[in-house]
Structure 1
Protein backbone atom coordinates (compact mmCIF):
# COMPACT_ATOMS: atom_id res chain seq x y z
CA UNK A 1 0.00 0.00 0.00
CA UNK A 2 1.61 3.29 -1.11
CA UNK A 3 1.13 6.48 0.86
CA UNK A 4 0.77 9.92 -0.58
CA UNK A 5 3.82 12.09 0.17
CA UNK A 6 3.15 15.09 2.37
CA UNK A 7 4.27 17.45 -0.37
CA UNK A 8 1.77 16.12 -2.88
CA UNK A 9 -1.38 16.35 -0.83
CA UNK A 10 -4.61 17.42 -2.45
CA UNK A 11 -6.06 20.91 -2.31
CA UNK A 12 -7.42 21.73 1.20
CA UNK A 13 -11.19 21.73 1.58
CA UNK A 14 -12.73 25.16 1.10
CA UNK A 15 -14.72 25.06 4.32
CA UNK A 16 -11.56 24.44 6.34
CA UNK A 17 -10.01 27.53 4.77
CA UNK A 18 -13.08 29.61 5.64
CA UNK A 19 -12.87 28.32 9.21
CA UNK A 20 -9.23 29.43 9.39
CA UNK A 21 -10.22 32.91 8.19
CA UNK A 22 -12.93 33.05 10.88
CA UNK A 23 -10.38 32.10 13.56
CA UNK A 24 -7.99 34.82 12.40
CA UNK A 25 -10.80 37.38 12.46
CA UNK A 26 -11.74 36.41 16.02
CA UNK A 27 -8.08 36.78 17.00
CA UNK A 28 -8.11 40.28 15.51
CA UNK A 29 -11.27 41.09 17.48
CA UNK A 30 -9.51 39.94 20.64
CA UNK A 31 -6.56 42.24 19.92
CA UNK A 32 -8.99 45.13 19.49
CA UNK A 33 -10.56 44.47 22.88
CA UNK A 34 -7.21 44.08 24.63
CA UNK A 35 -5.81 47.45 23.53
CA UNK A 36 -9.05 49.40 24.01
CA UNK A 37 -8.46 52.12 26.55
CA UNK A 38 -4.66 51.90 26.24
CA UNK A 39 -4.51 55.20 24.34
CA UNK A 40 -1.70 56.74 26.41
CA UNK A 41 0.60 53.78 25.78
CA UNK A 42 -0.22 53.84 22.07
CA UNK A 43 0.64 57.54 21.81
CA UNK A 44 3.87 57.09 23.77
CA UNK A 45 4.96 54.26 21.50
CA UNK A 46 4.20 56.39 18.45
CA UNK A 47 6.33 59.24 19.80
CA UNK A 48 9.19 56.81 20.46
CA UNK A 49 9.07 55.56 16.87
CA UNK A 50 9.07 59.10 15.47
CA UNK A 51 11.97 60.04 17.74
CA UNK A 52 14.11 57.11 16.57
CA UNK A 53 13.26 57.76 12.93
CA UNK A 54 14.17 61.44 13.24
CA UNK A 55 17.54 60.55 14.79
CA UNK A 56 18.33 58.24 11.89
CA UNK A 57 16.85 60.63 9.30
CA UNK A 58 14.67 57.80 8.02
CA UNK A 59 11.30 59.49 8.24
CA UNK A 60 9.73 59.84 4.76
CA UNK A 61 6.22 59.92 6.26
CA UNK A 62 6.13 63.72 6.54
CA UNK A 63 7.07 64.41 2.92
CA UNK A 64 4.76 61.76 1.47
CA UNK A 65 1.88 62.86 3.70
CA UNK A 66 2.29 66.47 2.58
CA UNK A 67 2.17 65.43 -1.08
CA UNK A 68 -0.87 63.16 -0.64
CA UNK A 69 -2.84 65.62 1.49
CA UNK A 70 -2.11 68.58 -0.82
CA UNK A 71 -3.50 67.04 -4.02
CA UNK A 72 -7.11 65.90 -4.11
CA UNK A 73 -6.67 63.35 -6.90
CA UNK A 74 -3.62 61.72 -5.33
CA UNK A 75 -5.21 61.81 -1.88
CA UNK A 76 -8.49 60.22 -2.95
CA UNK A 77 -6.73 57.50 -4.97
CA UNK A 78 -4.45 56.67 -2.05
CA UNK A 79 -7.35 56.64 0.41
CA UNK A 80 -9.35 54.25 -1.76
CA UNK A 81 -6.27 52.08 -2.20
CA UNK A 82 -5.74 51.96 1.56
CA UNK A 83 -9.39 51.18 2.24
CA UNK A 84 -9.89 48.45 -0.36
CA UNK A 85 -6.81 46.78 -1.83
CA UNK A 86 -5.85 44.50 1.07
CA UNK A 87 -9.47 43.27 1.30
CA UNK A 88 -9.55 42.48 -2.43
CA UNK A 89 -6.05 41.55 -3.62
CA UNK A 90 -5.10 39.22 -0.75
CA UNK A 91 -8.22 36.99 -1.06
CA UNK A 92 -7.84 36.97 -4.86
CA UNK A 93 -4.24 35.79 -4.62
CA UNK A 94 -5.26 33.16 -2.06
CA UNK A 95 -8.03 31.89 -4.34
CA UNK A 96 -5.67 31.92 -7.33
CA UNK A 97 -3.18 29.78 -5.43
CA UNK A 98 -5.89 27.42 -4.19
CA UNK A 99 -7.29 27.03 -7.69
CA UNK A 100 -4.24 27.25 -9.96
CA UNK A 101 -1.24 26.40 -7.77
CA UNK A 102 -2.59 23.90 -5.21
CA UNK A 103 0.85 22.36 -4.67
CA UNK A 104 2.03 25.72 -3.29
CA UNK A 105 -1.17 26.73 -1.52
CA UNK A 106 -0.62 25.17 1.91
CA UNK A 107 2.82 26.67 2.34
CA UNK A 108 1.74 30.12 1.15
CA UNK A 109 -1.41 30.13 3.26
CA UNK A 110 0.47 28.98 6.35
CA UNK A 111 3.07 31.71 5.87
CA UNK A 112 0.29 34.29 5.70
CA UNK A 113 -1.48 32.88 8.77
CA UNK A 114 1.68 32.79 10.91
CA UNK A 115 2.64 36.34 9.96
CA UNK A 116 -0.89 37.55 10.72
CA UNK A 117 -0.92 35.92 14.16
CA UNK A 118 2.49 37.36 15.01
CA UNK A 119 1.24 40.79 13.93
CA UNK A 120 -1.84 40.45 16.13
CA UNK A 121 0.42 39.65 19.06
CA UNK A 122 2.39 42.79 18.20
CA UNK A 123 -0.80 44.86 18.26
CA UNK A 124 -1.54 43.67 21.78
CA UNK A 125 1.99 43.89 23.18
CA UNK A 126 2.97 47.15 21.49
CA UNK A 127 -0.14 49.24 20.75
CA UNK A 128 0.85 52.12 18.52
CA UNK A 129 -1.10 55.14 17.37
CA UNK A 130 -0.72 55.85 13.63
CA UNK A 131 0.90 59.09 12.43
CA UNK A 132 -2.51 60.61 11.62
CA UNK A 133 -3.16 60.81 15.38
CA UNK A 134 0.07 62.71 15.99
CA UNK A 135 0.58 66.43 15.51
CA UNK A 136 2.26 67.46 12.27
CA UNK A 137 0.42 64.92 10.09
CA UNK A 138 -2.80 65.20 8.08
CA UNK A 139 -5.36 62.41 8.38
CA UNK A 140 -6.09 62.09 4.67
CA UNK A 141 -8.93 59.64 5.26
CA UNK A 142 -10.73 62.30 7.33
CA UNK A 143 -9.54 65.12 5.07
CA UNK A 144 -11.09 63.52 1.98
CA UNK A 145 -13.92 61.72 3.81
CA UNK A 146 -16.56 63.32 1.58
CA UNK A 147 -15.16 61.30 -1.33
CA UNK A 148 -15.59 57.89 0.33
CA UNK A 149 -17.54 55.82 2.83
CA UNK A 150 -15.10 56.24 5.71
CA UNK A 151 -15.14 58.70 8.57
CA UNK A 152 -12.50 59.38 11.21
CA UNK A 153 -11.86 55.72 12.03
CA UNK A 154 -9.30 54.89 9.33
CA UNK A 155 -10.98 52.88 6.55
CA UNK A 156 -13.94 51.74 8.65
CA UNK A 157 -17.35 52.83 7.27
CA UNK A 158 -19.01 55.71 9.09
CA UNK A 159 -20.67 54.49 12.26
CA UNK A 160 -18.56 51.31 12.37
CA UNK A 161 -15.36 52.78 13.81
CA UNK A 162 -15.72 50.53 16.85
CA UNK A 163 -15.05 47.49 14.65
CA UNK A 164 -11.46 48.43 13.90
CA UNK A 165 -8.34 48.55 16.05
CA UNK A 166 -7.06 52.11 15.60
CA UNK A 167 -3.87 51.41 17.55
CA UNK A 168 -2.60 48.59 15.33
CA UNK A 169 0.07 50.49 13.42
CA UNK A 170 3.00 48.24 14.43
CA UNK A 171 3.61 46.13 12.40
CA UNK A 172 1.85 47.06 9.15
CA UNK A 173 -0.34 44.18 8.00
CA UNK A 174 -1.14 46.20 4.88
CA UNK A 175 2.52 46.01 3.90
CA UNK A 176 3.01 42.46 5.14
CA UNK A 177 0.06 41.13 3.16
CA UNK A 178 1.08 43.14 0.08
CA UNK A 179 4.60 41.73 0.28
CA UNK A 180 3.13 38.22 0.54
CA UNK A 181 0.94 38.84 -2.54
CA UNK A 182 3.87 40.23 -4.49
CA UNK A 183 6.06 37.29 -3.54
CA UNK A 184 3.48 34.75 -4.71
CA UNK A 185 2.88 36.56 -8.02
CA UNK A 186 6.61 36.93 -8.66
CA UNK A 187 7.61 33.34 -7.96
CA UNK A 188 4.51 31.53 -9.28
CA UNK A 189 3.10 33.89 -11.91
CA UNK A 190 3.56 33.11 -15.58
CA UNK A 191 4.30 36.04 -17.81
CA UNK A 192 5.70 39.51 -17.35
CA UNK A 193 2.39 41.09 -16.35
CA UNK A 194 1.83 39.00 -13.24
CA UNK A 195 5.46 39.17 -12.20
CA UNK A 196 5.51 42.91 -12.80
CA UNK A 197 2.44 43.33 -10.60
CA UNK A 198 4.25 41.27 -7.99
CA UNK A 199 6.87 44.02 -7.80
CA UNK A 200 4.66 47.10 -8.23
CA UNK A 201 1.86 46.18 -5.83
CA UNK A 202 3.94 46.07 -2.60
CA UNK A 203 5.71 49.30 -3.59
CA UNK A 204 2.36 51.00 -4.15
CA UNK A 205 1.08 49.88 -0.76
CA UNK A 206 4.20 51.20 0.99
CA UNK A 207 3.66 54.64 -0.58
CA UNK A 208 -0.05 54.53 0.29
CA UNK A 209 0.32 53.63 3.97
CA UNK A 210 3.01 56.26 4.50
CA UNK A 211 1.32 58.95 2.43
CA UNK A 212 -2.06 58.57 4.14
CA UNK A 213 -0.34 58.81 7.57
CA UNK A 214 -1.55 55.39 8.65
CA UNK A 215 1.90 53.89 9.21
CA UNK A 216 5.50 54.76 9.97
CA UNK A 217 8.52 53.52 8.06
CA UNK A 218 9.28 51.36 11.12
CA UNK A 219 5.85 49.72 10.71
CA UNK A 220 6.67 48.97 7.07
CA UNK A 221 9.94 47.28 8.00
CA UNK A 222 8.22 45.36 10.81
CA UNK A 223 5.51 44.17 8.40
CA UNK A 224 8.17 42.81 6.06
CA UNK A 225 9.95 41.19 9.01
CA UNK A 226 6.90 39.31 10.29
CA UNK A 227 6.18 38.04 6.79
CA UNK A 228 9.76 36.81 6.56
CA UNK A 229 9.31 35.10 9.93
CA UNK A 230 6.16 33.43 8.62
CA UNK A 231 8.04 32.19 5.55
CA UNK A 232 10.78 30.70 7.73
CA UNK A 233 8.39 29.07 10.21
CA UNK A 234 5.88 27.72 7.70
CA UNK A 235 7.91 24.70 6.46
CA UNK A 236 8.68 23.63 10.03
CA UNK A 237 5.05 23.86 11.07
CA UNK A 238 3.77 22.00 8.01
CA UNK A 239 6.33 19.21 8.41
CA UNK A 240 5.31 18.81 12.03
CA UNK A 241 1.61 18.70 11.14
CA UNK A 242 2.25 16.23 8.32
CA UNK A 243 4.25 13.93 10.58
CA UNK A 244 1.51 14.10 13.19
CA UNK A 245 -1.20 13.32 10.64
CA UNK A 246 0.81 10.49 9.08
CA UNK A 247 1.50 9.04 12.51
CA UNK A 248 -2.20 9.07 13.40
CA UNK A 249 -3.07 7.44 10.08
CA UNK A 250 -0.44 4.71 10.53
CA UNK A 251 -1.60 3.93 14.07
CA UNK A 252 -5.19 3.78 12.88
CA UNK A 253 -4.24 1.43 10.04
CA UNK A 254 -2.22 -0.78 12.40
CA UNK A 255 -5.16 -0.87 14.83
CA UNK A 256 -7.53 -1.94 12.06
CA UNK A 257 -5.20 -4.75 10.99
CA UNK A 258 -4.80 -5.97 14.55
CA UNK A 259 -8.56 -6.17 15.12
CA UNK A 260 -9.84 -9.60 13.94
CA UNK A 261 -12.90 -9.54 11.72
CA UNK A 262 -16.22 -10.45 13.32
CA UNK A 263 -17.45 -13.80 12.08
CA UNK A 264 -21.09 -13.99 11.09
CA UNK A 265 -23.09 -17.17 10.90
Structure 2
Protein backbone atom coordinates (compact mmCIF):
# COMPACT_ATOMS: atom_id res chain seq x y z
CA UNK A 1 0.00 0.00 0.00
CA UNK A 2 2.81 2.39 0.87
CA UNK A 3 4.53 1.56 -2.40
CA UNK A 4 1.28 2.29 -4.28
CA UNK A 5 0.91 5.65 -2.53
CA UNK A 6 4.52 6.49 -3.35
CA UNK A 7 3.87 5.82 -7.03
CA UNK A 8 1.03 8.32 -7.09
CA UNK A 9 2.83 11.04 -5.17
CA UNK A 10 3.56 14.16 -7.18
CA UNK A 11 7.20 14.95 -7.69
CA UNK A 12 8.44 17.79 -5.50
CA UNK A 13 11.40 18.48 -7.77
CA UNK A 14 11.25 21.90 -9.44
CA UNK A 15 10.51 21.95 -13.13
CA UNK A 16 13.31 22.76 -15.55
CA UNK A 17 13.44 26.51 -16.26
CA UNK A 18 12.40 25.95 -19.88
CA UNK A 19 9.18 24.15 -18.79
CA UNK A 20 8.11 26.62 -16.09
CA UNK A 21 4.75 28.08 -17.11
CA UNK A 22 5.26 31.31 -15.18
CA UNK A 23 8.66 31.85 -16.76
CA UNK A 24 7.20 31.25 -20.21
CA UNK A 25 4.41 33.77 -19.60
CA UNK A 26 6.86 36.40 -18.33
CA UNK A 27 9.17 35.74 -21.28
CA UNK A 28 6.29 36.14 -23.72
CA UNK A 29 5.31 39.52 -22.28
CA UNK A 30 8.93 40.67 -22.21
CA UNK A 31 9.39 39.72 -25.86
CA UNK A 32 6.13 41.42 -26.91
CA UNK A 33 7.17 44.63 -25.18
CA UNK A 34 10.62 44.47 -26.75
CA UNK A 35 9.20 43.90 -30.24
CA UNK A 36 6.90 46.89 -29.74
CA UNK A 37 9.85 49.09 -28.71
CA UNK A 38 11.95 47.87 -31.64
CA UNK A 39 9.06 48.65 -33.97
CA UNK A 40 9.29 52.28 -32.85
CA UNK A 41 13.05 52.15 -33.46
CA UNK A 42 12.63 50.84 -37.00
CA UNK A 43 9.99 53.41 -37.90
CA UNK A 44 12.19 56.21 -36.53
CA UNK A 45 15.18 54.89 -38.47
CA UNK A 46 13.23 54.43 -41.69
CA UNK A 47 11.53 57.81 -41.44
CA UNK A 48 14.72 59.72 -42.24
CA UNK A 49 14.47 61.19 -45.78
CA UNK A 50 17.36 60.20 -48.02
CA UNK A 51 20.18 62.74 -48.26
CA UNK A 52 22.34 61.09 -50.88
CA UNK A 53 24.91 63.85 -51.26
CA UNK A 54 25.87 64.20 -47.60
CA UNK A 55 25.53 60.45 -46.97
CA UNK A 56 27.89 59.52 -49.80
CA UNK A 57 30.27 62.33 -48.83
CA UNK A 58 30.47 60.95 -45.32
CA UNK A 59 31.12 57.48 -46.70
CA UNK A 60 34.04 58.87 -48.71
CA UNK A 61 35.38 60.51 -45.54
CA UNK A 62 35.34 57.11 -43.83
CA UNK A 63 37.32 55.64 -46.72
CA UNK A 64 39.87 58.45 -46.43
CA UNK A 65 40.17 57.92 -42.66
CA UNK A 66 40.61 54.17 -43.06
CA UNK A 67 43.32 54.76 -45.67
CA UNK A 68 45.16 57.02 -43.23
CA UNK A 69 44.87 54.37 -40.54
CA UNK A 70 46.00 51.69 -42.97
CA UNK A 71 42.87 49.55 -42.51
CA UNK A 72 41.00 50.14 -45.78
CA UNK A 73 40.80 46.50 -46.86
CA UNK A 74 37.06 45.93 -47.34
CA UNK A 75 37.30 46.02 -51.14
CA UNK A 76 40.16 43.50 -51.12
CA UNK A 77 38.18 41.18 -48.85
CA UNK A 78 35.22 41.28 -51.20
CA UNK A 79 37.31 40.80 -54.34
CA UNK A 80 38.89 37.67 -52.83
CA UNK A 81 35.62 36.01 -51.80
CA UNK A 82 33.65 36.98 -54.92
CA UNK A 83 35.65 34.29 -56.69
CA UNK A 84 33.90 31.59 -54.62
CA UNK A 85 30.15 31.36 -55.23
CA UNK A 86 29.48 28.99 -52.34
CA UNK A 87 31.21 31.28 -49.84
CA UNK A 88 29.30 34.32 -51.11
CA UNK A 89 26.04 32.38 -50.83
CA UNK A 90 26.92 31.64 -47.20
CA UNK A 91 27.86 35.28 -46.57
CA UNK A 92 24.60 36.53 -48.08
CA UNK A 93 22.50 34.15 -45.98
CA UNK A 94 24.44 34.97 -42.80
CA UNK A 95 23.86 38.67 -43.39
CA UNK A 96 20.16 38.22 -44.18
CA UNK A 97 19.18 35.55 -41.65
CA UNK A 98 21.92 35.67 -39.03
CA UNK A 99 20.82 38.95 -37.50
CA UNK A 100 17.21 39.49 -36.35
CA UNK A 101 16.28 35.78 -36.24
CA UNK A 102 19.38 35.08 -34.14
CA UNK A 103 18.65 38.05 -31.85
CA UNK A 104 15.08 36.78 -31.40
CA UNK A 105 16.29 33.25 -30.60
CA UNK A 106 18.88 34.39 -28.05
CA UNK A 107 16.46 36.92 -26.56
CA UNK A 108 13.78 34.24 -26.10
CA UNK A 109 16.29 31.87 -24.49
CA UNK A 110 17.48 34.49 -22.02
CA UNK A 111 13.99 35.86 -21.30
CA UNK A 112 12.94 32.36 -20.20
CA UNK A 113 16.18 31.50 -18.41
CA UNK A 114 16.68 34.77 -16.53
CA UNK A 115 14.24 37.66 -17.18
CA UNK A 116 16.31 40.16 -15.19
CA UNK A 117 19.38 39.56 -17.33
CA UNK A 118 17.25 39.69 -20.44
CA UNK A 119 15.96 43.11 -19.35
CA UNK A 120 19.53 44.30 -18.89
CA UNK A 121 20.49 43.35 -22.45
CA UNK A 122 17.19 44.70 -23.75
CA UNK A 123 17.87 48.06 -22.11
CA UNK A 124 21.38 48.14 -23.58
CA UNK A 125 19.91 47.46 -27.01
CA UNK A 126 17.22 50.14 -26.72
CA UNK A 127 19.63 52.76 -25.36
CA UNK A 128 22.09 52.06 -28.16
CA UNK A 129 19.21 52.17 -30.62
CA UNK A 130 18.27 55.65 -29.41
CA UNK A 131 21.86 56.80 -29.99
CA UNK A 132 21.76 55.15 -33.39
CA UNK A 133 18.60 57.02 -34.38
CA UNK A 134 20.26 60.32 -33.50
CA UNK A 135 23.27 59.38 -35.62
CA UNK A 136 21.18 58.22 -38.58
CA UNK A 137 19.30 61.52 -38.64
CA UNK A 138 22.26 63.81 -37.97
CA UNK A 139 25.04 61.86 -39.71
CA UNK A 140 23.53 59.75 -42.50
CA UNK A 141 26.28 57.64 -44.04
CA UNK A 142 26.43 55.55 -47.20
CA UNK A 143 27.59 51.93 -46.96
CA UNK A 144 30.26 50.60 -49.36
CA UNK A 145 27.62 49.18 -51.72
CA UNK A 146 26.26 52.70 -52.38
CA UNK A 147 29.53 54.63 -52.61
CA UNK A 148 29.24 54.56 -56.40
CA UNK A 149 26.48 57.20 -56.07
CA UNK A 150 29.31 59.68 -55.51
CA UNK A 151 30.35 59.19 -59.12
CA UNK A 152 33.45 57.30 -58.00
CA UNK A 153 33.18 53.54 -58.50
CA UNK A 154 35.55 51.76 -56.13
CA UNK A 155 34.25 48.40 -57.33
CA UNK A 156 32.06 47.37 -54.38
CA UNK A 157 29.30 44.91 -55.31
CA UNK A 158 25.91 44.76 -53.57
CA UNK A 159 25.55 40.99 -53.20
CA UNK A 160 22.54 41.00 -50.85
CA UNK A 161 20.15 43.71 -51.98
CA UNK A 162 21.19 43.31 -55.61
CA UNK A 163 20.64 39.55 -55.72
CA UNK A 164 17.43 37.75 -56.62
CA UNK A 165 18.65 34.68 -54.70
CA UNK A 166 18.61 36.41 -51.31
CA UNK A 167 15.38 36.95 -49.40
CA UNK A 168 15.94 39.85 -47.02
CA UNK A 169 12.60 40.83 -45.56
CA UNK A 170 12.33 44.47 -44.50
CA UNK A 171 9.06 46.39 -44.80
CA UNK A 172 9.38 49.63 -46.76
CA UNK A 173 8.85 51.98 -43.76
CA UNK A 174 11.77 50.27 -41.97
CA UNK A 175 14.30 50.78 -44.76
CA UNK A 176 17.04 53.38 -44.48
CA UNK A 177 19.84 52.69 -46.93
CA UNK A 178 22.04 55.36 -45.34
CA UNK A 179 21.85 54.16 -41.72
CA UNK A 180 25.36 52.72 -41.83
CA UNK A 181 27.04 54.51 -38.92
CA UNK A 182 27.02 52.99 -36.36
CA UNK A 183 26.46 49.43 -37.57
CA UNK A 184 24.08 47.55 -35.30
CA UNK A 185 24.04 44.69 -37.74
CA UNK A 186 27.36 43.93 -36.08
CA UNK A 187 26.95 45.80 -32.78
CA UNK A 188 23.81 43.95 -31.70
CA UNK A 189 25.22 40.57 -32.69
CA UNK A 190 28.27 41.43 -30.57
CA UNK A 191 25.84 42.29 -27.75
CA UNK A 192 24.10 38.94 -28.17
CA UNK A 193 27.48 37.19 -28.11
CA UNK A 194 28.35 38.97 -24.87
CA UNK A 195 24.95 37.97 -23.49
CA UNK A 196 25.68 34.31 -24.20
CA UNK A 197 29.19 34.57 -22.75
CA UNK A 198 28.14 36.04 -19.38
CA UNK A 199 25.10 33.79 -18.97
CA UNK A 200 26.67 30.39 -19.50
CA UNK A 201 29.84 28.59 -18.51
CA UNK A 202 29.61 26.11 -21.36
CA UNK A 203 32.82 26.31 -23.44
CA UNK A 204 30.84 25.20 -26.49
CA UNK A 205 28.28 27.98 -26.17
CA UNK A 206 31.00 30.52 -25.49
CA UNK A 207 32.88 29.35 -28.57
CA UNK A 208 29.64 29.68 -30.54
CA UNK A 209 29.21 33.23 -29.23
CA UNK A 210 32.67 34.25 -30.44
CA UNK A 211 32.21 32.49 -33.79
CA UNK A 212 28.87 34.21 -34.25
CA UNK A 213 30.39 37.70 -34.08
CA UNK A 214 33.39 36.78 -36.24
CA UNK A 215 31.15 35.23 -38.88
CA UNK A 216 28.88 38.28 -38.97
CA UNK A 217 31.88 40.63 -39.25
CA UNK A 218 33.11 38.64 -42.25
CA UNK A 219 29.68 38.46 -43.89
CA UNK A 220 29.03 42.19 -43.50
CA UNK A 221 32.34 43.10 -45.11
CA UNK A 222 32.31 40.70 -48.06
CA UNK A 223 28.70 41.62 -48.94
CA UNK A 224 29.64 45.30 -49.13
CA UNK A 225 27.29 46.47 -46.39
CA UNK A 226 29.56 48.25 -43.89
CA UNK A 227 33.04 49.63 -43.44
CA UNK A 228 35.28 48.44 -40.61
CA UNK A 229 34.80 51.77 -38.81
CA UNK A 230 31.00 51.42 -39.03
CA UNK A 231 31.20 48.13 -37.17
CA UNK A 232 33.74 49.35 -34.65
CA UNK A 233 31.45 52.32 -33.96
CA UNK A 234 28.53 49.93 -33.41
CA UNK A 235 30.55 47.84 -30.96
CA UNK A 236 31.75 51.00 -29.18
CA UNK A 237 28.22 52.39 -28.75
CA UNK A 238 26.98 49.05 -27.41
CA UNK A 239 29.91 48.88 -24.96
CA UNK A 240 29.25 52.40 -23.66
CA UNK A 241 25.54 51.61 -23.27
CA UNK A 242 26.37 48.39 -21.42
CA UNK A 243 28.46 50.37 -18.92
CA UNK A 244 25.76 53.06 -18.62
CA UNK A 245 22.92 50.59 -18.00
CA UNK A 246 25.03 48.68 -15.46
CA UNK A 247 25.73 51.95 -13.63
CA UNK A 248 22.06 52.97 -13.67
CA UNK A 249 21.10 49.57 -12.30
CA UNK A 250 23.59 49.94 -9.46
CA UNK A 251 22.27 53.32 -8.36
CA UNK A 252 18.63 52.37 -8.91
CA UNK A 253 17.95 55.01 -11.56
CA UNK A 254 16.60 52.43 -14.01
CA UNK A 255 13.53 51.65 -11.88
CA UNK A 256 11.48 54.38 -13.54
CA UNK A 257 12.47 53.03 -16.96
CA UNK A 258 11.41 49.55 -15.89
CA UNK A 259 8.10 50.89 -14.58
CA UNK A 260 7.42 52.60 -17.90
CA UNK A 261 8.26 49.44 -19.84
CA UNK A 262 6.07 47.32 -17.57
CA UNK A 263 3.25 49.83 -18.00
CA UNK A 264 3.64 49.61 -21.77
CA UNK A 265 3.62 45.81 -21.67
CA UNK A 266 0.52 45.76 -19.42
CA UNK A 267 -1.25 48.23 -21.68
CA UNK A 268 -0.39 46.19 -24.74
CA UNK A 269 -1.56 42.96 -23.10
CA UNK A 270 -4.86 44.57 -22.06
CA UNK A 271 -5.59 46.03 -25.46
CA UNK A 272 -4.08 43.34 -27.70
CA UNK A 273 -7.36 41.46 -28.17
CA UNK A 274 -9.21 44.65 -29.07
CA UNK A 275 -6.48 45.64 -31.51
CA UNK A 276 -6.58 42.24 -33.24
CA UNK A 277 -10.38 42.25 -33.35
CA UNK A 278 -10.38 45.76 -34.83
CA UNK A 279 -7.85 44.77 -37.49
CA UNK A 280 -9.92 41.71 -38.44
CA UNK A 281 -13.09 43.79 -38.70
CA UNK A 282 -11.32 46.41 -40.82
CA UNK A 283 -9.98 43.68 -43.11
CA UNK A 284 -13.45 42.16 -43.47
CA UNK A 285 -14.95 45.54 -44.27
CA UNK A 286 -12.20 46.21 -46.81
CA UNK A 287 -12.77 42.79 -48.40
CA UNK A 288 -16.53 43.36 -48.65
CA UNK A 289 -15.98 46.76 -50.25
CA UNK A 290 -13.57 45.30 -52.79
CA UNK A 291 -15.97 42.48 -53.68
CA UNK A 292 -18.86 44.93 -53.97
Give the corresponding residue for 1:200.
Answer: 211
2:105 aligned partner: 92
| Deviation larger for 12-21 or 205-214 | 12-21
SS of residue paired to 2:160: helix
Residue in 2 aligned with 1:261?
Answer: none
- Which residue does 2:93 correspond to in 1? 80
Query: Partners in 2 of 1:91 and 1:126 — Cα distance?
Result: 28
Indicate whether 1:102 and 2:121 are aligned: no
**2:96 and 2:160 in contact (8 A); partners too:** no
2:79 paired with 1:61? no
Residue aligning to 1:252? none
What is the CA-CA distance between 1:245 and the residue it aligns to? 7.9
- Whether 1:21 and 2:35 are equivalent positions in the alignment is yes
The match for 1:123 among 129, 136, 145 is: 136
Task: Tell me the TM-score normalised to structure 2 length.
Answer: 0.71
Q: Name the structure 2 match of 1:228.
A: 239
- Is 1:32 matched up with 2:43? no
Listed as ranges, the matches of 1:154-173 within 5 Å are 155-156=168-169, 163-173=174-184
In structure 1, list runs of 5 or more residues that go unmatched: 1-9, 150-154, 247-265
TM-fit CA distance, 1:142: 4.8
Structure-1 separation of matches of 2:161 and 2:104: 27
TM superposition shift of 1:25 = 1.9
For residue 166 of structure 2, what is the aligned residue in structure 1? 148
- Alignment match, 1:47: 60
1:138 aligns with 2:157: yes
Q: Secondary structure at the match of 1:129?
A: coil
Matched residue, 1:181: 192
Indicate conservation of the 8 Å contact 2:77/2:222, yes or no. Answer: yes
Distance 2:106 2:84 in 1: 31
Q: Distance in 2 between matches of 1:245 and 1:91?
A: 20
Instruction: Say which SS state the counterpart of residue 99 (structure 2) adopts.
Output: helix
Q: CA deviation at 1:235?
A: 2.4
Q: Following TM superposition, by how much is the alpha carbon of 1:116 offset from its aligned partner in structure 2, in angstroms?
A: 1.9
Segments of 5+ residues of structure 2 without an aligned counterpart are: 1-21, 148-152, 260-292
Q: Aligned-residue CA RMSD in angstroms?
A: 2.3
1:47 to 1:192, Cα distance in 2 relative to 1, 3 A: same
Equivalent-residue separation in structure 2 for 1:92 and 1:20 (angstroms): 13
